[in-house]
Amino acid sequence: MPGLRLIETLLWRAGEGAPRLPLHLARLRRSAAALGFACDPAEAVRAVEAAAAGRPEWSLRIRLTLARDGTLAATATAFAALPPDSVWTLVVSERRLDQSDPLLRHKTDRRALYDGERARLLPGSGAEEVLFLNRAGRVADGGITCLYAADPAAPERLRTPPLAEGCLDSVLRAELLAAGRAREAPLSLGELRAAPALFVGNALRGLIRARLAG
């Protein structure tokens, strides 16, 4: 995996900082340890703070990258939250994720498949996100989000695919699981269509209502 970098994409708010920073750092440490990257969490915090320093915007998207040798880089861009009543339409990619690929659970810059399918399928479709299945035909992940389906037996609780299905070890996902708001469960497309409600989400945007195209 020459040149591979780990990525963390954080929300930063003026006067508050990055509300999920501890979860981002925990994931960065886990991935660095699993993949043999050098990682200094204190340096990561300093890189994030330096990227946000002096920015006039109330809300920022900060992208932090970590190279194998421990080199960190962080950039900040203005970020606008979605309207609270947003609903994203999901289109299903014909490309399947290999759920046995250990890199899928780590957030890296190996994004050609995800970004390529978003560029191919979304323009002109009216959809905002691409849904990927794994080679077993079950729900795996989104292009930039993880997927959540309301449990028919307890609609206030969400189901999300286990990491073994090929999904990212998402910061928002970890937060929801730890809070008891979600549980892991393999999901089929049929189960998504029958679910009382669907959501996609990531640490930057939070949970977003969703629906399957067609």
Could you tell me the fold of the domain covering 87-212?
Answer: D-amino Acid Aminotransferase; Chain A, domain 2 (3.20.10)
- 54-79 tens-digit pLDDT: 999 999 999 999 999 999 999 999 99
- What is the overall mean pLDDT for the chain? 97
- 80-116 tens-digit pLDDT: 999 999 999 999 999 999 999 999 999 999 999 999 9
| Confidence grade of residue 30 (pLDDT, cut at 50, 70, 90) | very high
Residue 1 pLDDT > 70, yes or no? no
* C-alpha R_g of the chain: 17
How many Å apart are CA 21 and CA 43, to the nearest integer? 13
Q: Is the pTM of this model over 0.75?
A: yes
| Confidence grade of residue 214 (pLDDT, cut at 50, 70, 90) | confident
**Sequence spans of domains, the chain:** 5-78, 87-212
The residues pairing with 91 across neighbouring beta strands, listed in sequence order, are 130
CATH number of the structural domain 5-78: 3.30.470.10
Residue 168 pLDDT > 70, yes or no? yes
DSSP alpha helix (H) spans, the chain: 21-35, 41-52, 112-121, 171-178, 189-194
Task: Give the per-residue pLDDT at 2.
Answer: 66
The region, left, alpha or beta by phi > 0 then psi within -120 to 50, assigned to residue 101 is beta
